[in-house]
A and B are shown apart, each in its own frame.
Chain A
Amino acid sequence: MSVTIHLHKSQRHLADGKASVDVAGRTVNACLADLIQQYPDLESQLFENSRRLKKNVEIYLNLESAYPDELAKPVRDGDEIHITLILSGG
Protein backbone atom coordinates (compact mmCIF):
# COMPACT_ATOMS: atom_id res chain seq x y z
CA MET A 1 0.00 0.00 0.00
CA SER A 2 1.59 3.22 -1.13
CA VAL A 3 0.31 6.79 -1.36
CA THR A 4 2.28 9.70 -2.80
CA ILE A 5 2.32 13.03 -1.00
CA HIS A 6 3.34 16.03 -3.09
CA LEU A 7 4.88 18.67 -0.86
CA HIS A 8 4.54 22.41 -1.25
CA LYS A 9 7.72 24.05 -2.54
CA SER A 10 8.31 25.78 0.79
CA GLN A 11 8.35 22.42 2.62
CA ARG A 12 10.76 20.48 0.43
CA HIS A 13 13.94 21.61 2.19
CA LEU A 14 12.62 19.80 5.27
CA ALA A 15 12.33 16.54 3.28
CA ASP A 16 15.82 16.27 1.76
CA GLY A 17 14.66 18.47 -1.13
CA LYS A 18 12.09 15.92 -2.31
CA ALA A 19 9.04 17.15 -4.23
CA SER A 20 7.08 14.03 -3.28
CA VAL A 21 7.31 11.31 -0.66
CA ASP A 22 5.77 7.82 -0.69
CA VAL A 23 3.91 6.95 2.49
CA ALA A 24 1.59 4.26 3.85
CA GLY A 25 -1.78 4.71 5.56
CA ARG A 26 -5.52 4.23 5.19
CA THR A 27 -6.52 7.82 5.88
CA VAL A 28 -5.04 11.22 5.05
CA ASN A 29 -4.17 11.55 8.73
CA ALA A 30 -2.27 8.24 8.77
CA CYS A 31 -0.42 9.23 5.60
CA LEU A 32 0.61 12.58 7.07
CA ALA A 33 1.71 10.79 10.27
CA ASP A 34 3.95 8.53 8.18
CA LEU A 35 5.29 11.59 6.34
CA ILE A 36 6.14 13.24 9.65
CA GLN A 37 7.75 10.04 10.92
CA GLN A 38 10.06 10.15 7.90
CA TYR A 39 10.62 13.92 8.08
CA PRO A 40 9.80 15.17 11.61
CA ASP A 41 10.55 18.82 10.76
CA LEU A 42 7.43 18.91 8.59
CA GLU A 43 5.12 18.59 11.59
CA SER A 44 5.28 22.26 12.55
CA GLN A 45 4.63 23.21 8.92
CA LEU A 46 1.43 21.19 8.76
CA PHE A 47 -0.11 21.09 12.21
CA GLU A 48 -1.09 23.43 15.03
CA ASN A 49 -0.10 22.24 18.48
CA SER A 50 -3.48 20.60 18.88
CA ARG A 51 -2.87 18.27 15.89
CA ARG A 52 -5.23 20.33 13.79
CA LEU A 53 -4.11 21.29 10.32
CA LYS A 54 -2.70 24.80 10.16
CA LYS A 55 -5.17 27.29 8.72
CA ASN A 56 -3.15 28.04 5.61
CA VAL A 57 -2.71 24.37 4.65
CA GLU A 58 -4.93 22.84 1.98
CA ILE A 59 -5.13 19.14 1.20
CA TYR A 60 -6.16 17.79 -2.19
CA LEU A 61 -6.79 14.07 -2.64
CA ASN A 62 -6.46 12.90 -6.25
CA LEU A 63 -6.72 16.56 -7.34
CA GLU A 64 -10.03 17.04 -5.47
CA SER A 65 -10.35 19.32 -2.46
CA ALA A 66 -10.45 17.19 0.70
CA TYR A 67 -11.91 20.02 2.82
CA PRO A 68 -13.58 19.73 5.30
CA ASP A 69 -12.58 16.76 7.50
CA GLU A 70 -9.45 16.33 5.43
CA LEU A 71 -7.68 14.14 7.97
CA ALA A 72 -10.47 11.55 8.12
CA LYS A 73 -10.65 11.01 4.36
CA PRO A 74 -9.91 7.39 3.41
CA VAL A 75 -7.16 6.73 0.88
CA ARG A 76 -6.39 3.80 -1.37
CA ASP A 77 -3.25 2.32 -2.85
CA GLY A 78 -1.95 4.61 -5.57
CA ASP A 79 -3.76 7.73 -4.35
CA GLU A 80 -2.06 11.10 -4.52
CA ILE A 81 -2.17 13.81 -1.90
CA HIS A 82 -1.17 17.39 -2.72
CA ILE A 83 -0.34 19.82 0.04
CA THR A 84 -0.85 23.46 -0.98
CA LEU A 85 -0.87 26.75 0.89
CA ILE A 86 -3.68 29.30 0.73
CA LEU A 87 -2.43 32.66 -0.54
CA SER A 88 -3.77 36.14 0.11
CA GLY A 89 -1.25 38.42 -1.60
CA GLY A 90 -2.27 40.65 -4.44
Chain B
Amino acid sequence: MLTHREKERYDRQLRIPEVGKEGQGRLKQAKIIIAGAGGLGAPAAFYLAAAGVGHIRIVDDDRVDRSNLNRQLLHWEEDIGREKTESAKEKLGRLNPDVIIETVSSRIDEDTVAAMVDRCDGIIDALDNFSGRYVLNRSAVTLDIPFFHGAVQGFEGRATTIIPGQTACLECLPRGEQTHAANPIIGITPGMIGCIQASECIKYLLRQGRLLENRLVIFDGLEMTWKEFNIKPRPECSVCGKKNRKRHHGDNTR
Protein backbone atom coordinates (compact mmCIF):
# COMPACT_ATOMS: atom_id res chain seq x y z
CA MET B 1 0.00 0.00 0.00
CA LEU B 2 1.19 3.46 -0.86
CA THR B 3 0.69 6.33 1.55
CA HIS B 4 -0.85 9.62 0.42
CA ARG B 5 2.61 11.21 0.44
CA GLU B 6 4.01 8.39 -1.70
CA LYS B 7 1.17 8.73 -4.20
CA GLU B 8 2.03 12.42 -4.53
CA ARG B 9 5.77 11.82 -4.70
CA TYR B 10 5.58 9.11 -7.36
CA ASP B 11 2.65 10.61 -9.28
CA ARG B 12 4.52 11.06 -12.55
CA GLN B 13 5.90 7.53 -12.65
CA LEU B 14 2.64 5.96 -11.46
CA ARG B 15 1.24 7.28 -14.75
CA ILE B 16 3.68 5.08 -16.72
CA PRO B 17 1.85 1.86 -17.71
CA GLU B 18 4.95 -0.23 -16.94
CA VAL B 19 5.04 1.14 -13.39
CA GLY B 20 1.55 1.85 -12.06
CA LYS B 21 0.53 1.05 -8.48
CA GLU B 22 1.57 -2.58 -8.77
CA GLY B 23 5.04 -1.72 -10.02
CA GLN B 24 5.48 0.99 -7.42
CA GLY B 25 4.56 -1.58 -4.79
CA ARG B 26 7.29 -3.88 -6.13
CA LEU B 27 9.84 -1.08 -5.88
CA LYS B 28 8.72 -0.31 -2.33
CA GLN B 29 9.08 -3.94 -1.25
CA ALA B 30 12.56 -4.32 -2.75
CA LYS B 31 15.89 -4.40 -0.96
CA ILE B 32 18.89 -3.46 -3.07
CA ILE B 33 22.58 -3.44 -2.18
CA ILE B 34 24.74 -0.70 -3.63
CA ALA B 35 28.34 -1.85 -3.36
CA GLY B 36 30.40 1.34 -3.45
CA ALA B 37 29.27 4.89 -2.64
CA GLY B 38 31.49 6.50 -5.27
CA GLY B 39 31.12 7.64 -8.86
CA LEU B 40 28.78 4.83 -9.95
CA GLY B 41 27.11 4.36 -6.59
CA ALA B 42 26.07 8.01 -6.30
CA PRO B 43 23.79 8.23 -9.35
CA ALA B 44 22.53 4.69 -8.81
CA ALA B 45 21.63 5.49 -5.20
CA PHE B 46 20.03 8.84 -6.02
CA TYR B 47 17.81 7.38 -8.74
CA LEU B 48 16.84 4.24 -6.85
CA ALA B 49 15.94 6.29 -3.77
CA ALA B 50 14.06 8.86 -5.85
CA ALA B 51 12.12 6.10 -7.61
CA GLY B 52 11.04 4.67 -4.26
CA VAL B 53 13.09 1.48 -3.93
CA GLY B 54 12.07 0.79 -0.35
CA HIS B 55 15.25 -0.50 1.23
CA ILE B 56 18.76 0.43 0.09
CA ARG B 57 21.88 -0.89 1.76
CA ILE B 58 25.03 1.06 0.94
CA VAL B 59 28.39 -0.62 1.43
CA ASP B 60 31.68 1.32 1.41
CA ASP B 61 34.72 1.36 3.70
CA ASP B 62 36.17 4.65 2.49
CA ARG B 63 36.08 8.25 3.65
CA VAL B 64 35.35 11.27 1.47
CA ASP B 65 38.41 12.88 -0.10
CA ARG B 66 38.43 16.18 -2.00
CA SER B 67 39.55 14.32 -5.14
CA ASN B 68 36.24 12.38 -5.07
CA LEU B 69 34.10 15.46 -5.53
CA ASN B 70 34.39 15.76 -9.34
CA ARG B 71 32.15 12.73 -9.72
CA GLN B 72 30.75 11.37 -6.44
CA LEU B 73 27.77 13.68 -6.19
CA LEU B 74 26.54 12.17 -2.93
CA HIS B 75 29.46 13.86 -1.21
CA TRP B 76 30.05 17.59 -0.89
CA GLU B 77 32.87 19.88 0.27
CA GLU B 78 31.72 19.78 3.91
CA ASP B 79 31.78 15.96 3.89
CA ILE B 80 35.55 15.65 3.40
CA GLY B 81 36.83 13.20 6.00
CA ARG B 82 33.38 11.68 6.75
CA GLU B 83 32.59 8.05 6.12
CA LYS B 84 31.06 7.82 2.63
CA THR B 85 28.23 5.67 3.92
CA GLU B 86 27.21 8.31 6.49
CA SER B 87 27.42 11.09 3.92
CA ALA B 88 25.32 9.02 1.51
CA LYS B 89 22.72 8.14 4.12
CA GLU B 90 22.24 11.80 5.04
CA LYS B 91 21.74 12.97 1.43
CA LEU B 92 19.46 10.12 0.44
CA GLY B 93 17.38 10.49 3.59
CA ARG B 94 16.90 14.16 2.81
CA LEU B 95 15.94 13.33 -0.78
CA ASN B 96 13.38 10.69 0.16
CA PRO B 97 12.47 10.05 3.82
CA ASP B 98 10.15 7.21 2.76
CA VAL B 99 12.98 4.82 1.89
CA ILE B 100 15.11 2.94 4.40
CA ILE B 101 18.82 3.62 3.97
CA GLU B 102 21.09 1.16 5.73
CA THR B 103 24.87 1.48 5.79
CA VAL B 104 27.73 -0.98 6.11
CA SER B 105 31.15 0.61 6.51
CA SER B 106 33.45 -2.27 5.76
CA ARG B 107 35.41 -3.76 2.93
CA ILE B 108 33.88 -6.41 0.69
CA ASP B 109 35.89 -9.62 0.78
CA GLU B 110 35.31 -13.37 0.98
CA ASP B 111 34.65 -13.17 4.71
CA THR B 112 32.21 -10.25 4.74
CA VAL B 113 30.28 -10.58 1.50
CA ALA B 114 27.65 -13.16 2.49
CA ALA B 115 26.30 -11.08 5.38
CA MET B 116 26.32 -7.95 3.21
CA VAL B 117 24.15 -9.35 0.43
CA ASP B 118 21.92 -11.47 2.67
CA ARG B 119 18.28 -11.58 1.54
CA CYS B 120 18.51 -8.79 -1.01
CA ASP B 121 16.76 -8.56 -4.37
CA GLY B 122 19.67 -7.19 -6.38
CA ILE B 123 23.24 -5.93 -6.20
CA ILE B 124 24.55 -2.80 -7.92
CA ASP B 125 28.24 -3.36 -8.65
CA ALA B 126 29.60 0.15 -8.13
CA LEU B 127 33.02 -0.87 -6.86
CA ASP B 128 36.33 0.54 -8.07
CA ASN B 129 38.48 -2.60 -8.05
CA PHE B 130 38.54 -6.03 -9.67
CA SER B 131 39.04 -8.09 -6.52
CA GLY B 132 35.85 -6.83 -4.86
CA ARG B 133 33.90 -7.19 -8.09
CA TYR B 134 34.88 -10.86 -8.48
CA VAL B 135 34.00 -11.63 -4.85
CA LEU B 136 30.63 -9.95 -5.31
CA ASN B 137 30.01 -11.70 -8.65
CA ARG B 138 30.68 -15.12 -7.12
CA SER B 139 28.40 -14.40 -4.18
CA ALA B 140 25.61 -13.11 -6.45
CA VAL B 141 25.74 -16.23 -8.64
CA THR B 142 25.90 -18.59 -5.65
CA LEU B 143 22.94 -16.93 -3.91
CA ASP B 144 20.92 -16.33 -7.11
CA ILE B 145 20.92 -12.56 -6.80
CA PRO B 146 20.75 -10.37 -9.94
CA PHE B 147 23.97 -8.41 -10.37
CA PHE B 148 24.06 -5.09 -12.18
CA HIS B 149 27.64 -4.51 -13.32
CA GLY B 150 29.15 -1.21 -14.37
CA ALA B 151 32.72 0.07 -14.75
CA VAL B 152 34.27 3.31 -15.99
CA GLN B 153 37.50 4.98 -17.00
CA GLY B 154 38.00 8.39 -18.55
CA PHE B 155 35.16 9.00 -21.00
CA GLU B 156 34.45 5.27 -21.39
CA GLY B 157 32.10 3.02 -19.47
CA ARG B 158 30.46 -0.39 -19.70
CA ALA B 159 27.52 -2.22 -18.20
CA THR B 160 25.90 -5.64 -18.26
CA THR B 161 23.23 -7.42 -16.22
CA ILE B 162 23.96 -10.82 -14.75
CA ILE B 163 21.02 -13.08 -13.92
CA PRO B 164 22.37 -16.23 -12.22
CA GLY B 165 21.47 -19.41 -14.08
CA GLN B 166 20.63 -17.52 -17.26
CA THR B 167 23.50 -15.29 -18.29
CA ALA B 168 27.24 -15.01 -18.48
CA CYS B 169 28.86 -13.74 -15.29
CA LEU B 170 31.95 -11.56 -14.84
CA GLU B 171 34.18 -14.64 -14.79
CA CYS B 172 32.97 -15.60 -18.28
CA LEU B 173 34.97 -12.63 -19.58
CA PRO B 174 38.75 -12.28 -19.46
CA ARG B 175 39.84 -11.62 -15.88
CA GLY B 176 41.15 -8.07 -15.64
CA GLU B 177 44.27 -7.15 -13.71
CA GLN B 178 44.38 -4.30 -11.24
CA THR B 179 46.74 -1.39 -11.80
CA HIS B 180 47.68 0.71 -8.80
CA ALA B 181 47.53 4.07 -10.52
CA ALA B 182 44.64 6.42 -9.70
CA ASN B 183 41.88 5.82 -12.23
CA PRO B 184 41.44 8.84 -14.52
CA ILE B 185 37.77 9.75 -14.63
CA ILE B 186 35.35 12.60 -15.25
CA GLY B 187 31.97 12.60 -13.50
CA ILE B 188 29.75 12.43 -16.55
CA THR B 189 30.93 8.89 -17.33
CA PRO B 190 29.90 7.20 -14.05
CA GLY B 191 26.83 9.45 -14.21
CA MET B 192 25.80 7.72 -17.44
CA ILE B 193 26.74 4.20 -16.38
CA GLY B 194 25.34 4.47 -12.84
CA CYS B 195 22.02 5.51 -14.39
CA ILE B 196 22.14 2.48 -16.70
CA GLN B 197 22.66 0.23 -13.68
CA ALA B 198 19.77 1.87 -11.81
CA SER B 199 17.58 1.54 -14.93
CA GLU B 200 18.37 -2.15 -15.21
CA CYS B 201 17.62 -2.69 -11.53
CA ILE B 202 14.29 -0.87 -11.76
CA LYS B 203 13.30 -2.80 -14.91
CA TYR B 204 14.18 -6.06 -13.18
CA LEU B 205 12.08 -5.18 -10.13
CA LEU B 206 9.17 -4.09 -12.32
CA ARG B 207 9.55 -7.18 -14.55
CA GLN B 208 9.39 -4.89 -17.55
CA GLY B 209 11.49 -4.32 -20.64
CA ARG B 210 14.54 -6.11 -21.95
CA LEU B 211 17.53 -6.40 -19.63
CA LEU B 212 21.20 -6.30 -20.63
CA GLU B 213 21.30 -10.09 -20.30
CA ASN B 214 24.29 -11.56 -22.14
CA ARG B 215 24.82 -8.11 -23.60
CA LEU B 216 27.72 -5.83 -22.75
CA VAL B 217 27.24 -2.19 -23.71
CA ILE B 218 30.27 0.04 -24.05
CA PHE B 219 29.74 3.80 -23.89
CA ASP B 220 32.21 6.12 -25.61
CA GLY B 221 31.55 9.62 -24.33
CA LEU B 222 33.97 11.27 -26.73
CA GLU B 223 32.35 9.78 -29.83
CA MET B 224 28.95 9.69 -28.04
CA THR B 225 28.31 6.14 -29.18
CA TRP B 226 27.03 2.98 -27.51
CA LYS B 227 28.32 -0.31 -28.86
CA GLU B 228 26.69 -3.60 -27.92
CA PHE B 229 28.59 -6.89 -27.73
CA ASN B 230 27.21 -10.37 -27.15
CA ILE B 231 28.67 -12.35 -24.31
CA LYS B 232 27.91 -15.98 -23.62
CA PRO B 233 28.03 -18.07 -20.46
CA ARG B 234 31.13 -20.25 -20.59
CA PRO B 235 30.13 -23.85 -19.78
CA GLU B 236 33.45 -24.35 -18.01
CA CYS B 237 33.17 -21.13 -15.95
CA SER B 238 34.14 -21.96 -12.36
CA VAL B 239 31.53 -19.55 -11.00
CA CYS B 240 28.39 -19.92 -13.13
CA GLY B 241 29.06 -22.96 -15.36
CA LYS B 242 27.36 -25.55 -13.17
CA LYS B 243 24.32 -23.40 -12.46
CA ASN B 244 23.83 -22.48 -16.12
CA ARG B 245 24.16 -26.14 -17.22
CA LYS B 246 21.50 -27.19 -14.69
CA ARG B 247 19.13 -24.50 -15.87
CA HIS B 248 19.80 -25.36 -19.49
CA HIS B 249 18.83 -28.96 -18.87
CA GLY B 250 15.55 -27.98 -17.24
CA ASP B 251 16.64 -28.60 -13.68
CA ASN B 252 15.53 -25.51 -11.82
CA THR B 253 16.45 -26.69 -8.36
CA ARG B 254 18.78 -24.32 -6.54
> Do B156 and A9 have beta carbons less than 8 Å apart?
yes
In the complex, what residue of chain A is closest to B168 when comparing beta carbons?
Answer: A65
Q: Is B93 an interface residue (CB 8 A)?
A: no
Given contacts A55-B175, A63-B228, contact A88 B151 (CB under 8 A): yes
17 contacts between A and B (CB under 8 A): A9-B156, A53-B174, A55-B175, A55-B176, A56-B174, A56-B177, A64-B230, A64-B232, A65-B173, A67-B234, A84-B218, A87-B158, A88-B127, A88-B178, A89-B152, A89-B153, A90-B150
| Closest B residue, CB atoms, query A55 | B177
Question: Which of A53, A57, A84, A87 has the most chain B CB within a 10 Å cutoff?
Answer: A87
**Chain B interface (Cβ within 8 Å of chain A)?**
36, 38-41, 125-130, 133, 150-153, 156-158, 168, 172-178, 183, 185, 190, 216, 218, 220, 222, 227-232, 234
Q: Among A53, A65, A90, which residue has its beta carbon within 8 angstroms of that of B232?
A: A65
CB pair A9 B220 closer than 8 Å:
yes
| Contact between A57 and B174, CB atoms less than 8 A apart | yes
User: Which residue in chain A gives the minimum CB-CB distance to B177?
Assistant: A55
Asked if residues B230 and A90 are in contact (CB atoms below 8 Å), the reply is no
A59-87 vs B: 1/0 string, CB under 8 Å? 01001110110000000000000101111
Residue of B nearest to A86 (CB): B176
Given A89-B151, A89-B153, A90-B190, also A67-B127 (CB < 8 A): no
List 19 other contacts, CB 8 Å, given A57-B174, A58-B173, A87-B152: A9-B220, A55-B174, A55-B175, A55-B176, A56-B174, A63-B230, A65-B230, A65-B232, A67-B234, A68-B234, A84-B218, A87-B157, A87-B158, A88-B151, A88-B178, A89-B152, A89-B183, A90-B41, A90-B151
B174 touches A67 (CB 8 A): yes
Q: How far is the CB of B182 from chain A (nearest CB, A)?
A: 9
Q: Which residue of chain A lies nearest to B150 when distances are taken between CB atoms in the complex? A: A90
The complex places the Cα of A88 from the Cα of B184 at a distance, in Å, of 11
Interface centre among A56, A64, A87, A89 (most CB of B within 10 A): A89
Contacting pair A65 B231 (CB below 8 A) = yes
Is the CB–CB distance between A58 and B174 below 8 Å? yes
Instruction: Tell me whether A86 and B152 are in contact (CB under 8 A).
Output: no
Residue in B41, B176, B228, B232 whose beta carbon sits within 8 Å of that of A88 in the complex: B176
Residue of A nearest to B36 (CB): A90
Q: How far is the CA of A53 from the CA of B177 in the complex (A)?
A: 12
